[in-house]
């Protein structure tokens, strides 16, 4: 049996009005109907199936199986027709169990993660739902240590800047700040908050589940670019691999890349494991690709440097640390780390000359200087 629920009079009244209006209720195991000719009701759940009921008997059975009725009321009346993607998302938050098992789980709270959000849905004693959201990294934090918000649209401001106060141009980047919570949202509010943090992710997630996700692959997206961004059309295939490997992985974006080179050619780069899909190259990727398209036009040159083996390894470690966003985590005392600030400064003192050349080797030896035409000067 489902957990005990105190069925509010309004919920039973809504059920009675619905069946008496000629609508057959058939939802999550609950079945109910009214026969005007005999002035009798029918009521069924997986546990019982009764026909020819008086209004009093119909009410009594509804009270005895209140979880089924409250579940129907929540989805039919509280949520209603607010869009298939929104309903599917709210159902996903609860899980796909039968009503008794689902209500058992919801009474103690069921947790889901959406990007960097931890969303908890709980059930009250009338079958209504209450939702809470916090950063996944704050899952074990005490409530009093987190700033509480009531307005779901506050999530828009929370997601605007990262932990260091820097603007987040990519909303789905894994740089959402911590230290906040939404302790009590309704079904409408939880969707609005999620949408404010990760716009359009619910809709695209639902389209994918329904087999209706419209994917724009790289070549299609590149062909639409005009003006200064038209340069991305000339990016060679292997460079598109590098673009995807640099930008479209879990460490850089919470989406899961579904776009490929084109509909007939997949990319080898890892697309990530995010729950919601990325259906096309985003504006940030296109902007970065424009820069790389310019750089790819340069002809390679051969340079000769004198470095110790440890210095070569240090340069490699520096590149890895910067690319993986690990520089800020390296303390001054961590001198064994190649990207340690003091070690980098020592390497600069030793190997970079006054003109800024590595090992005294100019970038353009024929020109007699160390500048490059492509250095941050696309136009």
- The CATH number given to whatever domain includes residue 245 is 3.30.70.2320
Measure Cα distances from 43 to 54, 103, 197, 360, 374 in Å: 11, 20, 42, 87, 75
pLDDT in the model for residue 370 = 46
- 355 in the same domain as 305: yes
Q: Which of 208, 237, 256 is the last residue in one of the domains?
A: 208
Q: Tokens 């790289």 correspond to what residue?
A: 218
Measure Cα distances from 295 to 235, 285, 367 in Å: 10, 15, 19
Judge contact between 247 and 266, C-beta under 8 A: no
pLDDT in the model for residue 374 = 45
By the 10 Å C-beta count (0-12 exposed, 13-18 middle, 19+ buried), 275 is classed as middle
By the 10 Å C-beta count (0-12 exposed, 13-18 middle, 19+ buried), 161 is classed as middle
Judge contact between 106 and 129, C-beta under 8 A: yes
Please list the helix, strand and coil fractions of the chain in percent, rounded to the nearest 5, in that order: 40, 15, 45
Measure Cα distances from 44 to 159, 285, 329 in Å: 46, 54, 60
184-199 average pLDDT score: 97
- 182 in the same domain as 101: yes
Q: Which of 245, 268, 295 is the last residue in one of the domains?
A: 295
Residue 87: is its pLDDT beyond 60?
Answer: yes
Residue 268, in any domain of the structure: yes
CATH of the domain at 121: 3.30.1360.190
pTM for the model: 0.86
Laid out side by side, the sheet with 110-114 consists of 110-114, 117-123, 129-135, 180-185, 147-148
Between CA 45 and CA 108 the distance in angstroms is: 24
Judge contact between 155 and 168, C-beta under 8 A: no
pLDDT in the model for residue 82 = 82
- 92 in the same domain as 16: no
pLDDT in the model for residue 373 = 45
Between CA 206 and CA 223 the distance in angstroms is: 27
- 89 in the same domain as 58: no
pLDDT in the model for residue 129 = 95
Helices 84-94 and 187-197 cross at an angle (nearest 10°) of 100
- 118 in the same domain as 95: yes
pLDDT digit string, tens, across residues 216-259 = 999 999 999 999 999 999 999 999 999 999 999 999 999 999 99
pLDDT in the model for residue 120 = 98
Residues 6+ apart with CB under 8 A from 7: 62, 63, 66, 69, 70, 126, 127
Judge contact between 117 and 89, C-beta under 8 A: no
281-309 average pLDDT score: 91
> For residue 133, which of 76, 102, 168, 89 has the smallest C-alpha distance?
89
pLDDT in the model for residue 127 = 83
Range of the domain at 147: 84-208
- 59 in the same domain as 23: yes
- 88 in the same domain as 166: yes
Residue 64: is its pLDDT beyond 80?
Answer: yes
Q: Tokens 């969707």 correspond to what residue?
A: 191
* β-strands 117-123, 129-135 pairing: antiparallel
Continuous segment of H or E residues that includes residue 260: none
- 147 in the same domain as 66: no
Between CA 329 and CA 309 the distance in angstroms is: 25
Q: How much of the chain, in percent, has pLDDT values that exceed 90? A: 82
Residue 3, in any domain of the structure: no
Q: Which of 79, 107, 140 is the last residue in one of the domains?
A: 79
pLDDT digit string, tens, across residues 28-42 = 999 999 999 999 999
- 196 in the same domain as 131: yes
Least confident range from 72-76, 223-227, 272-276, 375-379: namely 375-379
- 327 in the same domain as 237: no
Give the number of domains in the chain: 4
Mean pLDDT of the chain: 92
């Amino acid at each position: 049996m489902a957990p005990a629920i105190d069925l509010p009079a309004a919920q039973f009244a809504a059920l009675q009005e619905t069946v008496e209006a000629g609508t057959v209720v058939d939802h999550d195991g609950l079945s109910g109907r009214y026969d005007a000719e005999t002035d009798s009701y029918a009521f069924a759940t997986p546990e019982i199936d009764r026909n020819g009921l008086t209004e009093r008997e119909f009410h009594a059975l509804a009270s005895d199986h209140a979880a089924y009725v409250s579940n129907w009321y929540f989805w039919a009346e509280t949520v209603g027709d607010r869009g298939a993607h929104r309903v599917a998302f709210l159902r996903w938050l609860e899980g796909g169990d039968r009503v008794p098992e689902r209500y058992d789980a919801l009474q103690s709270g069921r947790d889901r993660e959406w990007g960097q959000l931890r969303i908890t849905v709980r059930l009250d004693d009338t079958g209504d739902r209450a939702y809470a959201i916090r950063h996944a990294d704050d899952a074990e934090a005490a409530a009093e240590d987190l700033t509480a918000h009531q307005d779901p649209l506050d999530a828009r401001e929370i997601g605007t800047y990262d932990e260091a106060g820097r603007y987040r141009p990519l909303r789905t980047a894994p740089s959402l700040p911590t230290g906040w919570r939404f302790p009590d949202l309704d079904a409408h509010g939880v969707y609005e908050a999620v949408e404010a943090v990760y716009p359009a992710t619910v809709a695209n997630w639902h389209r994918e589940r329904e087999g209706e996700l419209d994917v724009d692959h790289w070549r299609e997206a590149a062909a639409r670019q005009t003006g200064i961004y038209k340069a991305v059309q000339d990016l060679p295939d292997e460079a598109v691999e590098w673009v995807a490997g640099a930008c479209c992985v879990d460490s850089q974006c919470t989406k899961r890349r579904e776009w490929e080179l084109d509909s007939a050619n997949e990319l080898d780069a890892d697309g990530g494991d995010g729950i919601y899909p990325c259906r096309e190259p985003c504006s940030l990727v296109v902007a970065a690709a424009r820069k790389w398209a310019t750089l790819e036009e340069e002809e390679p040159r051969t340079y000769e440097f004198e470095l110790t083996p440890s210095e070569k390894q240090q340069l490699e470690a520096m590149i890895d640390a910067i690319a993986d966003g690990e520089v800020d985590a390296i303390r001054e005392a961590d001198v064994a780390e190649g990207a340690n600030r003091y070690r980098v400064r020592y390497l600069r003192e030793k190997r970079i000359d006054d003109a800024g050349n590595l090992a005294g080797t100019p970038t353009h030896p024929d020109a007699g200087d160390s500048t490059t035409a492509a250095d941050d000067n696309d136009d």
